[in-house]
Amino acid sequence: MNDPSSKSASPRNWRPATRLVHAGTSRSQFGETSEALFLTQGFVYDTAEAAEARFKGDEAGFIYSRFSNPTVAMFERRMAELEGAEAARATASGMAAVTAALVGQVKAGDHIVAAKALFGSCRYVIEELLPRFGVASTLVDGTDLDQWRAAVRPETKVFFLESPTNPTLEILDIAAIAAIARDAGASLVVDNVFATPMLQSPLELGATCVVYSATKHIDGQGRCLAGVILASEKFIADHIQTYLRQTGPSISPFNAWVMLKGIETLPLRVEKQVANAARVADVLAAHKAVERVIYPFRDDHPQAALARRQMKAGGTLVTFEVAGGKQGAFRVANALRVTRISNNLGDAKSLVTHPSTTTHQRFDEDQRLGMGIRQGMLRFSAGIEDADDLVEDFLQALDQA
Ligand SMILES: *Cc1c(COP(=O)(O)O)cnc(C)c1O
């Protein structure tokens, strides 16, 4: 299972784009160029003694694909090298990764502090699922450091946040919140989907654990669901490994293979998506039908300085508000021709969604307004199309609306 060629150079010395193409590759005896897809549930042993040794851990090797699989292991190794983490574990979806990262750390009586502005399903895990097992939580305004400090209790075990947030693209100060967590004896889990591993490194900023929905930019071509958990070897061993093995949110080797190939082009895609997002943000801001544009690296973003400090670029998403509330937003979305309507993000195809009636439909209007989500708001996920086509499309849609 070990490829001697992968030991000839130290991937940590390579720059990210190089790691994404080569790191973690484990070639079979055939020396294939592209990563092999090991679509197998299990493995055979030459002798009963070999099976015994494998189970005892005396002999390295795979046992069962719920535990690990060569293709999945390549994807995990490549993600760990990219993120600069000691260890990675892949899961069937982003939500499986978030759930494992949280549930794996807590028991009845423990307490979690989380930012209010979270992906909807993450709020379900924290507000509805975990309380059924005696794990309490406090939701805070993530941008207010005093609220994080005030929420800490003796039994606080985990801080959880995402930044930039969905869909209002607020920036949370990861280094400052990590310091508060450390003082409280709690871990910090960061959902880094919106920033992508190319633009923000939460572990370097002091986070304990990073989770991804690889469904988004890492696949980047709208095919499979996947998730990843990245942390130290010790964190994975103490909190994640046994939970994943015994409860089984395992990723299919096929989906892991799709991700493995997808991440080879991640830097190219994210660079183009960022350029397209920044260009569209500027065009929207200059249009009279647009009341407000939110993009982290624009000077009019309230936390532009913090965004520049902790991110390498402004990201692939732009949120904007048009006049006329829901009707106005629907008119713009319906008039777009290149950008398609979808709640997904991070795809090669540009996508737009109306958060109030889709991703945040389950909240009432007061809760939505509390999160800064207004009826005239649209979230744009930049694809890799020619920027001129995206700009022309937005201009004709805004003019029509
Ligand atoms: C999509 C998403 C998730 C959930 O990921 P799935 O792969 O759909 O399960 C979690 N967090 C964020 C920020 C997301 O965008």
Looking at residue 356, its pLDDT comes to: 96
What would the pLDDT profile of 107-133 be if each residue is shown by its tens digit?
Answer: 999 999 999 999 889 999 999 999 999
Query: Kind of pairing, strands 136-140 and 111-115?
Result: parallel
112: three-class secondary structure by DSSP: strand
Please state, as a whole number, how many other Cβ atoms lie within 10 Å of the Cβ of residue 133. 11
Closest listed residue to residue 158, CA positions, set 123, 132, 190? 190
CA atoms of 243 and 94, how far apart (whole Å): 16
Q: Is the CB of 193 under 6 A from ligand 1?
A: yes
Looking at residue 17, its pLDDT comes to: 87
Question: In the chain, what are the domain boundaries?
Answer: 13-263, 266-400
Q: Which amino acid is at 305?
A: A
Q: With left for phi above 0 and alpha for psi between -120 and 50, is residue 109 left, alpha or beta?
A: left
Interacting residues of 175 by C-beta distance below 8 A, sequence separation 6+: 205, 206, 310
Looking at residue 10, its pLDDT comes to: 60
Q: Are 380 and 333 in contact (CB under 8 A)?
A: no
Q: Are 294 and 282 in contact (CB under 8 A)?
A: no
Taking the centre of ligand 1 as the mean of its atom positions, its distance from the CA of residue 95, in whole angstroms, is 6
Taking the centre of ligand 1 as the mean of its atom positions, its distance from the CA of residue 191, in whole angstroms, is 9
Q: Closest Cα to atom 15, ligand 1: which residue?
A: 193
Query: Kind of pairing, strands 187-191 and 136-140?
Result: unpaired
Q: Closest Cα to atom 1, ligand 1: which residue?
A: 213
pLDDT tens track of the chain, all 401 residues? Answer: 444 344 444 667 888 889 889 989 999 999 999 999 999 999 999 999 999 999 999 999 999 999 999 999 999 999 999 999 999 999 999 999 999 999 999 999 999 999 999 988 999 999 999 999 999 999 999 999 999 999 999 999 999 999 999 999 999 999 999 999 999 999 999 999 999 999 999 999 999 999 999 999 999 999 999 999 999 999 999 999 999 999 999 999 999 999 999 999 999 999 999 999 999 999 999 999 999 999 999 999 999 999 999 999 999 999 999 999 999 999 999 999 999 999 999 999 999 999 999 999 989 999 999 889 999 999 999 999 999 999 999 999 999 88
Instruction: Check if 13-263 and 266-400 are the same fold.
Output: no
Q: Is the CB of 160 under 6 A from ligand 1?
A: no
CA atoms of 401 and 398, how far apart (whole Å): 5
Quick one: angle between helices 325-335 and 387-400, nearest 10? Answer: 130
Domain 13-263 adopts which CATH fold?
A: Aspartate Aminotransferase; domain 2 (3.40.640)
CATH class of 266-400: alpha beta
